[in-house]
Amino acid sequence: MHHFWEINELIIETFAFLEPGDLFHCAQVSKRLSVHALDSLYRELEGLYNVLSILSPINPPRYPRADQDEETIASTDDYTFAKKSLSEDDWLRFQHYAQRVHQLDCDWMGNGYNIPLITRDLQSVTLPDCGLFPNLKSLRWTGHHLPAFENLRIGLSVSLRELMLQAASPVIFDRLPEVLQCCPELESVTLLLDYPQSHTADELPTFEDDKVFMMVTSLPKLKELHLDPALVSAETLTSISRKPSLMSLIIASCPALPRKIPLPPLPACPLVESDNYPALRELCLSLPPGSQKVPESYAGCPISSLLVDASGPSTDNLSNLLQDFRQFRNLRHLVIIFSFDQTSTDEQDAVEDDTILSDDAEQSLTFDMLRPLLSLSLVVFEASTSPFFLLDREIEEMARCWPDLESLCLCTPQADFSEGTEPEKIMPISSLEIFGRHFRNLKNLRLYVDATVVPPLSEDVTERHVFDCLLQLDLRGSKVEKPCDVALYLAEILPQKCELVKYDGWTYEFFVDDMDYGWEDETARDVWDEIGILFTGMQTFKLKVLHRLWSRVSSPKE
């Protein structure tokens, strides 16, 4: 006989899904439904992916407040669970729907729960050998609740392919190895540290290289590995990267990279062959302070995708770093994050600001700096740095060297629009036509432009069409005088399916008819947002005009 309170505690500690509300009432009703009716309910109602919601009726547990200490928690009535028995029928229902769970996201810090510390004898719960969720493929676990993670292995299956864990260092170093032993099929592992707000730089965990190395090497099918830099030293990373099955190595503290770089297939005849690195094709890492080169240990890798975060006030030679990238002859995707940390303390104000401005001016990318990269066959090039200025002839030369380029970003996504901070040289908006005529495969483009002077409109709307397959255009800049003219110009030169990227990451989906826009007292950011709305309406009007012209051309002459 399974005791319901034990199963209930286990699931809630592990997944923390159930919330009061309509979903809970659906769970109360579901006990009286047949299995076939539950199947229909599961398919029809959004949110019923939660296995607990379609189990027998249960009382949502009440958790103690976050500000209560352990003595208060132990004496409060909130620290109790209803001890209801789980019947055989309930257990069968749970197993029936647990087989459908393929992905679980367990965000302890994001869902507002405060999980109490519970101790119990888990051996009294008889669970199937395949785990609570036999078909679970992906698990994302964030938070630092240690007792709950200790019991995580009970719910995992041997078929787990992807594990993302963000937890305190004791959980990773002491508890994770036992969990990994239950999951020999893991192909993707992400291990990030969960830093409490009280932590300082002096309290970071020390390297425990042996444990990390043993965990990684114990997974025979591991293909993707994402590690927090504080978990492992550079020497151990060199050994880990030699793992024959490893294809992707990411060394970064952020839980999500700016964009997942795709892994293209290996060429039939690799330009670089190395017995030490037979599989590593994606490398994402943050360069340590003072470093201006990618570590030599990766020189022999057949890397096709490279993301390098070279941010920091101590990196002062971007030209040398770009030349260093030439060693990766298979490189197809290159993303460079190069921006200074401009956060200053209260004690460092004016002097530090002047230094940052002067350093930033020195670190602006130039076309001459990029020349070493023109020998590579790039498909993606993104440089998150100060706005990039290119002459028309330089754009043409870049297009000749990178004919297959699909994504080009030449400024940071967080471009500054404050007055007086614009770079001295800004590409005019007319440069878009040069990009469109020469980069025939371009699908994504991000530029910092000067829209003060807008090229005149063409007399025939069919004459000006310079981009073949552009899907997204992300324009930045603070010099805009006539937004309507800008929107009309963009509607002329961009293809029908192209969208302007809005600054919150969404694209425009509004149709704009005759509306009176007042452009006074608006920031440059607001102006570009409004341009995007106008552009959508004008693009729709342009499409109607083109259809009318095409119908005239295709109609038989009388």
Residue range 269-323, pLDDT digits in tens: 444 444 444 578 888 887 776 666 787 778 777 888 888 887 754 445 677 888 8
Structural tokens at position 40: 């229909």
Q: Give yes or no for residue 444 having a pLDDT over 90.
A: yes
Alpha carbon distance 300, 65 (integer Å): 54
Hey, what amino acid is at 231? L
The amino acid occupying position 46 is E
pLDDT in tens, 175-221: 788 778 878 889 999 888 876 543 444 445 555 667 788 888 888 88
62 vs 534, more confident: 534
Residue 16 lies in a domain: yes
Question: Residue 23 is part of which domain span?
Answer: 1-44
Give me the number of domains the chain comprises: 1
Looking at the domain assignment, is residue 352 inside a domain?
Answer: no
Q: Is 60 exceeded by the pLDDT of residue 70?
A: no
* Pairing of β 333-337 and β 305-309: parallel
CATH number of the domain where residue 19 is located: 1.20.1280
Q: What is the pLDDT of residue 2?
A: 36
**476 occurs within a structural domain:** no
As separate numbers, helices (DSSP H) first and strands (DSSP E) second, the chain gives 18, 17
pLDDT at site 131: 59
Q: What is the mean pLDDT of residues 22-47?
A: 45
**Hey, what are 27's tokens?**
């769970």
Beta strands, E only, 457-527: 472-476, 499-500
Instruction: Give, rounded to a whole angstrom, the gap between the first and last alpha carbons of the chain.
Output: 88
b/e burial code for range 195-232 (CB count within 10 A of at least 16 → b): beeeeeeeeebeebbebbbebbeebeebbbbbbbbebb
Give the pLDDT of residue 501. 85
- Give the model's pLDDT for residue 415: 59
Contact status, residue 312 vs residue 359, Cβ threshold 8 Å: no
In a domain, 34, yes or no: yes
Q: What is the pLDDT of residue 21?
A: 42
Instruction: State phi, psi for 230 to the nearest 5 degrees.
Output: -75, -5
Q: Is the pLDDT of residue 474 over 80?
A: yes
* Higher per-residue pLDDT: 458 or 325: 325
Write down the pLDDT at residue 195: 63
Residue 6 — pLDDT band, cuts 50, 70, 90?
very low
Would you say residue 25 lies in a domain?
Answer: yes
Q: What percent of the chain has pLDDT over 70?
A: 51
| C-alpha to C-alpha distance for 157 and 106, rounded to whole angstroms | 16
Mean local confidence (pLDDT), 262-268: 51
